[in-house]
Amino acid sequence: MIPTIFSRRLRHHLAVTLLLAVTSLAQAQGVSPKQILIGQSITLQGGKNEYGMAVTDGINAYMQDVNVRGGVHGRQIALKTLDDDNKGSQAEANARQLIEEDKVFLLFGSIEGGPSNAVMKVTSQLQVPFFGPMAGSPTLRRPHQPLVFPVRAEHRDEFRVLLEYIRTTGGKRVAFFRADSAVGLEHLENFKLLCKELGLELVLDLPFNSDVSDEQLGAMARRIAAANLQGVINHGSAGVYEKLIRLVRAQGSPTPFMAVNSGSTQLARRLGELAHGMLFAQVLPSPWERKTDLTREYQETFKRHKPGVDFSYGSLEGYMTAKALVAALRLAGPSPTRESFVQGIYKAGSIDINGLRANYQPGDHAGLKLVDLAIYTRDNRFRH
């Protein structure tokens, strides 16, 4: 029989050992008594990517506000951001550095399909949560990724809304402008299925590479102008899409162009008059209107932390996704681990974002289903 005093010492020793082990694990996962370290690989391209910079402004505005109010369970949220330059290889390297060297708690908030998929590859391998990729890639949801938690709706839902509009207005013939990549091919398959379901004809599939030349875009523009289309839809790459639209309009073609939400504010502003009448799918409410609790809060917080910076869909998406992340961190409890982060989300079943609900359950990380249509008007505004 163990003497009582020895038993007490043994229990104390085991308790201290367990506490040290738990503390060591938490710090290895980016959690200290005063801070939670979050990692982010995002497409900024040295400040030249306007959409990425807008998203970053929205994220930072919300994070600053949270930290001023005491953070999450007494810990400040620290965000380490690396620029992936819209390259999958760089996004993959960034993700490895953030997890293996910088010891972040989780990965958060990439944009663009290629880089987001590269980050997902690493987080899946290293078993680290990836929260709030702001890309519409189908691979972020199918096949199911148990550690990936998208917030925004996917491009497939945006394609459906745009194609349904074409059908209801009497259109039949459409074209799809997409990246010549594995993700682009998956978007193409979804696009084909939707066209079949809605009784539309996909007349032109227009794949392009990141280094597409003006001559190649010119050839696409001539095909579009000659094809009698009732709609051209993209899946991102706003800068390249802008060039294509300009080339088609230079030929005098009235072909209707439509776009998904990614970079929509920047695309419309750069096109100016050429964007008048363009229809956009949006996965957010209007950032300029005050019709929802989310946009009213966003406007007030954004003006406080980013005075003089214009509202945009990009900054609202960054703000909304950061707000969802902080809500998920709160669900992880006062002693967060990666496991408690995931289980906290599952236990709640959904994350409330000012009345919008992002839904998550084992086997189905749906996030939000919100998709709206907005037209860019002659007074240079988006009208929902």
Query: Residue 42: which residues within 8 A CB-CB, separation 6 or more?
Result: 52, 55, 56, 81, 82, 83, 84, 109, 110, 111, 115
The string of pLDDT tens digits covering residues 30-55 is 999 999 999 999 999 999 999 999 99
Asked if residue 326 has pLDDT above 80, the reply is yes
Share of the chain above pLDDT 90, in %: 89
- Note the pLDDT tens digit of each residue in 68-83: 999 999 999 999 999 9
Q: Confirm whether 264 is domain-assigned.
A: yes
Distances, alpha carbon 360 to alpha carbons 161, 202, 354, in Å: 23, 33, 17
- Residue 215's domain comprises 155-282
**Tally of structural domains, the chain:** 2
For the CA atoms of the chain, what is the radius of gyration?
Answer: 23
Q: Note whether residue 375 is domain-resident.
A: no
Tell me which residue of 126, 167, 163, 165 sits closest to 147, measured CA to CA: 126
Using CA atoms, how far apart are residues 174 and 168, in angstroms rounded to an integer?
Answer: 14
Q: Is residue 14 part of a domain?
A: no
304 and 243: one domain?
no
pLDDT by residue (tens digit) across 119-137? 999 999 999 999 999 999 9
- Do 98 and 176 reside in the same domain of the chain? no
- The answer to whether residue 20 is domain-embedded is no
What distance lies between CA 175 and its chain's CA centroid?
A: 25
Q: Please tell me whether residues 168 and 273 are part of one structural domain.
A: yes
Q: Report residue 312 CA to chain centroid gap.
A: 15
The answer on 52 and 108 residing in a single domain is yes
Q: Is residue 248 part of a domain?
A: yes
pLDDT at 316: 97
Q: Is 201 in the same domain as 302?
A: no
Q: Please indicate, yes or no, whether residues 273 and 313 belong to a single structural domain of this protein.
A: no
Same domain, 145 and 160: no
Q: Are residues 264 and 253 in the same domain?
A: yes
Query: Does residue 17 register a pLDDT over 50?
Result: no
Is the domain of 274 the same as that of 196? yes
Q: Average pLDDT for residues 83-112, to the nearest whole number? A: 97
Residue 184 shares a structural domain with residue 224: yes
Whether the predicted pLDDT of 4 surpasses 80: no
Is pLDDT of 7 > 80? no
Q: Are residues 294 and 260 in the same domain?
A: no
Look over the chain and give the mean of its residue pLDDT values, rounded to a whole number: 93
- What pLDDT shows up at residue 135? 93
Domain stop point among 252, 282, 312: 282
Tens of pLDDT, residues 259-279? 999 889 989 999 999 999 999
Chain mean position to CA 365:
14
CA gap 17, 77 in Å, rounded: 28
Tell me if 116 is assigned to some domain: yes
Average pLDDT over residues 96-100: 98
Domain containing residue 164: CATH number: 3.40.50.2300
Last residue within a domain, chosen from 282, 301, 335: 282
109, 134 contact by CB (below 8 A):
yes
On whether residue 256 sits in a domain, the answer given is yes
Same-domain status, 147 and 159: no
Q: Tell me: the pLDDT tens digits for 21-34?
A: 444 455 669 999 99
Distance (Å, rounded) from C-alpha 76 to C-alpha 180? 41
Tell me which residue of 160, 154, 141, 206 sits closest to 179, measured CA to CA.
206
Task: Please give the structure tokens belonging to residue 22.
Answer: 């738990």
